[in-house]
Structure 1
């Protein structure tokens, strides 16, 4: 037999209170805040006769149980028909800054806390937070057909609410947005913090030092030796993928780059990125992350870097191929033709013909066939390129070599 789950006690809701019907009563023992509540009703009313009938309804006990939540008071009010009407009063709640000011003001004065615990509401505390309704703050609503403002049922509910306020000012605080236990807990925390500050002992007097002693020459101890440089850069942490937050892959890229740059500075004293232009640094980033393959992440990285440098993704991909071929020198060979002096460049064509590769045409620092090209760099190395026939769409291939035949062989091997 399956055991039955235990019955849990209903959860107390500090921001919803239901008060039983107050019953018939010929008069009320008014408090100053209850009277202020009634005055707000009377300033709202357009018809004094309806107010008088509402007061009579309240005295006769026509108002059922009253439910109070932040900004709203509801009850069923019996009228001339058998079925009662659902009546409601709406009141603006206080914003959080106004509540903070109210709580700070109450906590500063122990008499205020004592008054609230004694079900009393000090004048200055209520005025500080504007707890009591002003003209236009109360908005009545009723299911009856009477279009009075307010109708007699809403007026009766308002008069009975004044009786609740007379007995407990925390009803007014609940109407404005905070429950009794919530307010008392906040006051307790503030009072405890204030008392803790008051108990802090005074700071001791600082010892004095003679000026002669302070200005006397002295030998400073040597600095401790620096920490050893780690053998390799550290790895960044795993960044969470939070909705609306930064892209974790971008954060990982930035953290990895920062670690590599810092490690190079520590080990060599040189900043590897400082001499680079924005375009060269973008090519370096794209060539290093990721190392190979055209995944969706690679395409997104290429697109972002190309847009930031006003280039196309194809331009960036070609530059990345050059960077992987030989770094910044290979990128310069890709982008900048030049006129080499007489010497190694002039000896390249005969060497190629002797190795069985005739037909290369010279143009500045380049030797070309319809599909193969060798470019001579300022660093004295030859860089291989390849294109489809009649396309003139040259892409770096192979590894650079000081010998043109070696560079061509590396390209063919690639």
Structure 2
């Protein structure tokens, strides 16, 4: 929501002499464009002070039904531009008639004593000033001078014939005003009598006066001989000196990258402890990835999916039929990927055949463009190999199959005749005849 202020303003009659010259001409009059409609029935206010504004009206409303209709009007965007001046919030609200009604919310402005107490409380705490600049209102600051309206403080009025307290048009204005307060709590200060620039200028003046008084007290406490009767003054650095550009020493050269990744420690088997094989696997993987990242500046496995990484890890270890621990590893990795141990074993064979591209050749069926695939069958026939049946990126006989990968290599597969149970075999080759020759010579 974009907030802007427009419109002229004259001096407020409650201003003390000379105050008009210390604030901008439009600082006590702000106009906000009509807010867009909002979907749903969630709270109109997100901040605690915005909700306090709504509560102040709802707690004194005489008819909940009028409040509900006003809330619906506000949600549908029936409230035009809202103008805020000290003690007053005004907007035109569209109702059932063609001509909109002029709705108004009035509230009491703070007196001079209230403002002195509020500004003193803000200037005494740097965190309060920082919160205000960050469009936040500390609870303690709001309580210093009754900044927030209490039940009965808000007086609604409207040009419609309804004499409800409030009518639905004034209620709609109140709900939309809460949205403005969320975005800029300085509007709440304006309602109470002073604009944002005036408040910030006064806080700056008080902060400077307080800092000067503290410096004077520190000088007064020190003796000519350099001994202090009170707490010693803190060492300071001028802001100009702190921000002056200067040359900084160069960083030390990075440590050399080791030739090989480190070996993890040996983890003992203990009751209730994690599986030593799993710990060894995780530590070794972390060391290998860190070593590769230091060498190349790129994580070698960062872009892999869960299944691809599970296949990679299994392919780096002995086959599933060697030991009980490796069989357990295959079972755990297959379960994590939502596959069976047989699926994992087949995928491991594809990974060992051609890495990530080999796994893609196993799992991906695609339609290759005209070119190498069309020339493969005549080349195989010229080499006296049996007739191959084409289907998508695959050339098959009852027991032998060649798959063209997206990397341009041919991958060999074998199956028992009539079973359609293909397993990766051989070494991939750019030439289908070379890939088939390697496959049949095994």
TM-score by length of 2: 0.45
TM-score by length of 1: 0.48
Q: Which has the larger radius of gyration?
A: 1
